[in-house]
């Protein structure tokens, strides 16, 4: 495709860093991971961060550290990636899915309230597409019921809510550096971040085989560590993050100006800074638009065509459930190319092709 859906960033500093770390022969638990954790936490304005091998393992460590297991329930949206809930299911917990709001595609507060039971252990707020969920209200609900609030910030690096970066609102947050994300590490990688030092400390211990000292294991942990090469690359990417998020917002403005009268464009609440991991619009004949754009060399994505509660492996473990907004919008959503390296002309061309299609 001439116009790719996403594009990764590589420069000489990244290439040199990879070679330097290889030559250093220090591949895990070294200075790059330590520095990446400090710099990422400082960027977010939180007390600490812990590198992990992926966003999925970041969430796994979070659920495990919070003691979520057999007999427990977590409330999460279904309009998300399966890894929002799959680690909790591995631990024996049951996902309870709430519907979303049609404007931001984030979890519906009223539905969350309805679904809380005495078994609920946590609410998982996914900042979908990079737009923060309603964290103030979710915090109130969680506090009212004495349950945890987890931020799945895997799509929201650099997003802000009332002037503060995501990861400042829940008890703990997970990020992913999967190759399509707003920032990457040239491989799989993730980060846990937040202000609760006790939880962070436990997560760091569980990530490294439950070790408290080199030969002593006080918990049954995992090996969910990040490679030093990847951490080094992450540090370089982090330096660009803010300018990238800014550019993503500019691109969204151009798309929005051109498309707002013809398709449903993403809503940006006045009190957030959107990270625009993806730019998702809604149209009635999504599949034909998709074919049309592909014919014109324009890549597209569907995040996500099958909601989690309807996935073959999940259907059997959730009781009969209807999520009307989730189930309707999944047939209408389509994501257009979005990455900071697109020119204004690229964006205008793509938008003009969408307009050509809807006005045909
Ligand atoms: C919302 C959400 N949660 C969890 C994940 C899992 O992250 P990873 O692919 O790094 O395991 C992703 C990304 O893939 C995601 O978008």
d(CA 203, CA 52): 10
Please name the residue that has the structure tokens 């996914």: 126
Query: What mean pLDDT do residues 128-142 have?
Result: 98
> What is the position in ligand 1's atom list of the atom closest to the CA of 155?
16
| Mean pLDDT estimate for the chain | 97
Percentage of the chain beyond pLDDT 70 is 100
Instruction: Express each pLDDT in 216-270 by its tens digit.
Output: 999 999 999 999 999 999 999 999 999 999 999 999 999 999 999 999 999 999 9
Confidence of residue 193 (pLDDT cuts 50, 70, 90): very high
CA proximity to 346, closest of 281, 302, 295, 299: 299
d(CA 308, CA 255): 29
First to last CA, the chain: 23
Percentage of the chain beyond pLDDT 90 is 98
d(CA 200, CA 92): 22
d(CA 39, CA 241): 12
Q: Is the pLDDT of residue 1 over 90?
A: no
> What is the position in ligand 1's atom list of the atom closest to the CA of 128?
1
Inter-helix orientation angle 197-207/55-65, to 10°: 120
Q: Cβ(45)–Cβ(164) under 8 Å?
A: yes
Inter-helix orientation angle 344-358/286-295, to 10°: 130
Query: What mean pLDDT do residues 116-124 have?
Result: 98
Instruction: Express each pLDDT in 290-327 by its tens digit.
Output: 999 999 999 999 999 999 999 999 998 887 899 999 99
Pick from 61, 154, 335 the residue to mutate for probing ligand 1's pocket: most ligand atoms within 8 Å of its CB. Answer: 154
Q: Which two tokens stand for residue 121?
A: 């252990």
d(CA 20, CA 344): 36
> What is the position in ligand 1's atom list of the atom closest to the CA of 188?
10
Give the pairing of strands 120-126 and 73-77: parallel
pLDDT at 20: 98
SS3 state of residue 340? coil
Query: What mean pLDDT do residues 87-109 have?
Result: 98
> What is the position in ligand 1's atom list of the atom closest to the CA of 190?
10
DSSP for 96-124, please give it. EEE-B-TTT-PBPHHHHHHH--TTEEEEE
Pick from 56, 80, 167 the residue to mutate for probing ligand 1's pocket: most ligand atoms within 8 Å of its CB. Answer: 56
Residues with CB under 6 A from ligand 1: 54-56, 80-81, 83-84, 126, 152, 154-155, 176, 178, 188, 190
The CA 360 to ligand 1 mean position distance, Å, reads 37
Q: Cβ(67)–Cβ(61) under 8 Å?
A: no
d(CA 130, CA 106): 10
Instruction: Express each pLDDT in 16-73 by its tens digit.
Output: 999 999 999 999 999 999 999 999 999 999 999 999 999 999 999 999 999 999 999 9
The CA 23 to ligand 1 mean position distance, Å, reads 31
CA proximity to 226, closest of 255, 259, 192: 192
Please name the residue that has the structure tokens 């204004």: 344
d(CA 346, CA 329): 27
CA angle centred on 103, ends 317 and 248, rounded to 5° = 105
| Whole-Å CA distances, 78 to 136, 139, 155, 208, 218 | 21, 20, 15, 31, 35
The CA 175 to ligand 1 mean position distance, Å, reads 8
pLDDT at 84: 98
Q: Which two tokens stand for residue 106?
A: 């984030």
pLDDT at 228: 98
The residue whose CA has the least distance to atom 7 of ligand 1 is 55
The CA 205 to ligand 1 mean position distance, Å, reads 22
In which order are the strands placed within the sheet that holds 164-165?
Answer: 164-165, 160-161, 272-273
d(CA 181, CA 183): 5
> What is the position in ligand 1's atom list of the atom closest to the CA of 80?
1
The residue whose CA has the least distance to atom 8 of ligand 1 is 55
Instruction: Express each pLDDT in 194-203 by its tens digit.
Output: 999 999 999 9
Q: Is the dihedral of CA 246, 251, 252, 258 positive or negative?
A: positive
Q: Catalogue all structural domains in the chain, each as residue range(s) with its CATH number.
A: 12-235 (3.40.640.10), 241-358 (3.90.1150.10)
């Amino acid at each position: 495709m001439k116009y790719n859906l996403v594009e990764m960033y590589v420069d000489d500093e990244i290439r040199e860093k990879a070679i330097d770390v290889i030559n250093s022969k220090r591949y895990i638990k070294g200075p790059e991971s330590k520095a990446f954790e400090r710099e990422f936490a400082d960027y977010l304005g939180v007390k600490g961060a812990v590198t992990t091998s992926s966003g999925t393992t970041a969430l796994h460590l979070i659920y495990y550290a919070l003691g979520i297991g057999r007999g427990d329930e977590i409330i999460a949206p279904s309009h998300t990636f399966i890894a929002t809930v799959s680690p909790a299911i591995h631990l024996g917990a049951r996902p309870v899915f709430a519907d979303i709001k049609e404007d931001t595609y984030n979890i519906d507060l009223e539905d969350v309230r309805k679904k809380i039971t005495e078994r609920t252990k946590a609410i998982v707020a996914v900042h979908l597409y990079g737009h923060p969920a309603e964290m103030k209200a979710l915090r109130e609900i969680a506090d009212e019921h004495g349950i945890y609030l987890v931020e799945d910030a895997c799509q929201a690096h650099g997003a802000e809510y009332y002037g503060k970066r995501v990861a400042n609102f829940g008890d703990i947050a997970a990020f992913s550096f999967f190759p399509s994300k707003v920032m990457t590490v040239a491989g799989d990688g993730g980060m846990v971040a937040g202000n609760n030092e006790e939880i962070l400390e436990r997560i760091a211990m569980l990530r490294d085989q439950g070790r408290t000292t080199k030969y002593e294991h006080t918990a049954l942990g995992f090996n969910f560590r990040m490679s030093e090469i990847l951490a080094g690359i992450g540090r370089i990417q982090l330096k660009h993050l803010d300018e990238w998020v800014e550019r993503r917002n500019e691109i969204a403005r151009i798309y929005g100006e051109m498309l707002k009268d013809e398709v449903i464009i993403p809503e940006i609440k006045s009190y957030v800074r959107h990270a625009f991991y993806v730019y998702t619009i809604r149209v009635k004949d999504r599949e034909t638009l998709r074919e049309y754009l592909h014919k014109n060399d324009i890549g597209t994505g569907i995040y996500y065509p099958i909601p989690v509660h309807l996935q073959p492996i999940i259907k059997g473990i959730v009781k009969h459930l209807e999520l009307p907004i989730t189930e309707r919008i999944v047939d209408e959503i389509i994501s257009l190319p979005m990455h900071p390296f697109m020119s204004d002309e690229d964006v205008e061309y793509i938008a003009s092709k969408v307009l050509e299609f809807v006005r045909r």
